[in-house]
Amino acid sequence: MTIQILLADDQALLAGTFRLLIEANDDMEVVGVAADGREAVEQARATRPDVVVMDIRMPGLDGVAATELICRDETLRGTRVLILTTFEIDEYVTRALRAGASGFLGKDVAPGELLGAIRTVATGDTLLSPTATKALIGRYLALPEGRVAAPDVLGVLTAREREVMAQVAEGLSNDEIAERMHVSPLTVCTHVGRAMTKLGARHRAQLVAMAYQSGLVRVDPPRPGDGFRNAGR
């Protein structure tokens, strides 16, 4: 199955480079290129892509606001947003996750990592970075205005579902969780799905946010050299 991708970036040269990289793969197709957030929303509604690769700083409507509009649109429930930006700062990461983004990457990412990220997000999983995402969730979503999920919210989950949710929040893939728990990846997928349904999480990124908001997982200070990893299969 071909992954349909919409690129949103106001830098035409970068957008063109990303397009060439993506379309060199048989399992991917670029269905549109948008130069600002408003155009990204319009094209997403017109083309209904599997993944929107979204820049943050764009003229007019920025990438975070565009992400929120896309993620709240019921007609685009199958569309995931991957943020790709030069500005890996705390505020942007946090806002993007709250808006519903399924991943966050810097533009200095290696080509193979970008392609892997697109494939990961397209499956409904999320892409997290120990340095740019995990620590920021703990730092910002733990603030009073960010603690929207009280600890007792997790009371609807079984002990096994809480265990899996905690490991998802640590950035482990389904395969890694399965190996650690001595179960099959399908079993892990089932636990993740049930936890998301019970908590009303649209995708894994929201499940991760709830894990930190509720105190189920706490953040260790980021270590120098930590890089990006995929939290998907």
Q: In whole angstroms, what is the distance from residue 184 CA to residue 230 CA?
A: 19
8 and 100 in a single domain? The answer is: yes
CATH code where residue 209 lies: 1.10.10.10
91 and 181 in a single domain? The answer is: no
Cβ atoms of residues 56 and 93 within 8 Å: no
pLDDT of residue 154: 85
pLDDT of residue 209: 76
Q: Does residue 215 form part of some domain?
A: yes
Environment class of 64 (CB within 10 Å of its CB; exposed 0-12, middle 13-18, buried 19+): buried
16 and 100 in a single domain? The answer is: yes
What is the C-alpha radius of gyration for the chain, rounded to an integer number of angstroms? 17
Report the predicted TM-score, pTM, of the whole model to 2 decimal places: 0.67
- Say how many domains are in the chain: 2
Q: In whole angstroms, what is the distance from residue 231 CA to residue 171 CA?
A: 5
pLDDT of residue 88: 58
Q: In whole angstroms, what is the distance from residue 29 CA to residue 99 CA?
A: 25
User: Which domain covers residue 113, as residue numbers?
Assistant: 3-124
Q: Does residue 131 form part of some domain?
A: no
pLDDT of residue 221: 47
Q: In whole angstroms, what is the distance from residue 231 CA to residue 153 CA?
A: 23
* pLDDT in single tens digits along all 233 residues of the chain: 899 999 999 999 989 999 999 999 999 999 999 999 999 999 999 999 999 999 998 988 999 999 999 999 999 989 999 998 876 556 677 778 778 888 888 887 889 888 988 998 898 777 765 445 554 555 555 555 444 445 567 889 999 999 999 988 877 777 888 999 999 988 998 999 899 899 888 667 678 778 877 878 765 544 444 443 444 33
32 and 100 in a single domain? The answer is: yes
pLDDT of residue 107: 82
180 and 114 in a single domain? The answer is: no
108 and 35 in a single domain? The answer is: yes
pLDDT of residue 75: 93
